[in-house]
Chain A
Amino acid sequence: GQQLNQSPQSMFIQEGEDVSMNCTSSSIFNTWLWYKQDPGEGPVLLIALYKAGELTSNGRLTAQFGITRKDSFLNISASIPSDVGIYFCAGQRLENYGQNFVFGPGTRLSVLP
């Protein structure tokens, strides 16, 4: 079945550092989404990507849709304590248009002061 892998699984960084995480799949996806989940809350959409090679920013966040369409990357610049949480990627294949997204297992980010 469709599966997404995220790396790293978890990371501990110092406040002010930049963060990079990625999401990979053996299948081709035509849409990639990045979500963040705070403790006790549902995931909140950060960035959506629809085209191979697309690079999109949202404040300190930048995400890219991989050229192969099998991966996506999320970067966070100058991390702050409120960046703590779980970051999920989600993908949708063209044949599943209008159906559900497949979610990765998440990257848990901890920011040390």
Chain B
Amino acid sequence: GAGVSQSPSNKVTEKGKDVELRCDPISGHTALYWYRQSLGQGLEFLIYFQGNSAPDKSGLPSDRFSAERTGGSVSTLTIQRTQQEDSAVYLCASSLDFRTGGYGYTFGSGTRLTVV
């Protein structure tokens, strides 16, 4: 697609439920990144993919968080047993490959997750 697409744009869920957040990167972009932005805060790195592989998972806050990418395209970030502190905007970004990531990413508009 023309840009990075994220869905849903807004998600309200009850504490303890699982949620799936989807990111559709720019067509042909092999590198994909997930960040989290809490209210009034900066961007917290979660995980990145080069192709379908995630070389660094150290940014994931807990084992309730997981992410996968299939076919080198769409990625899903899953949060199990959601907690109120998981409420944030989850941003996805992509770049042509890991080298051109150094020229900056293209971000999606984010998914605003609210856990009640």
Once the chains bind, are A92 and B93 in contact (CB under 8 Å)? no
B interface residues (Cβ-Cβ under 8 A, vs A): 4, 33, 35, 41-45, 48, 50, 55-56, 59, 91, 93, 98-99, 101-110
Q: Are A100 and B108 in contact (CB under 8 A)?
A: no
**Contact for A43 among B45, B55, B107, CB less than 8 A:** B107
Considering only residues 1-57 of chain A, those with a C-beta below 8 Å from chain B are 4, 31, 33, 35, 40-45, 48, 50
CB atoms of A100 and B59 under 8 A apart: yes
A40 with B103: CB separation less than 8 A: no
**A100 and B42 contact, CB distance less than 8 A:** no
A102 part of interface (Cβ distance < 8 Å): yes
B44 CB contacts on chain A under 8 angstroms: 103
Return the chain A residue nearest B112 by Cβ.
A40
Bound together, the chains give a CA A100 to CA B52 distance in angstroms of 16
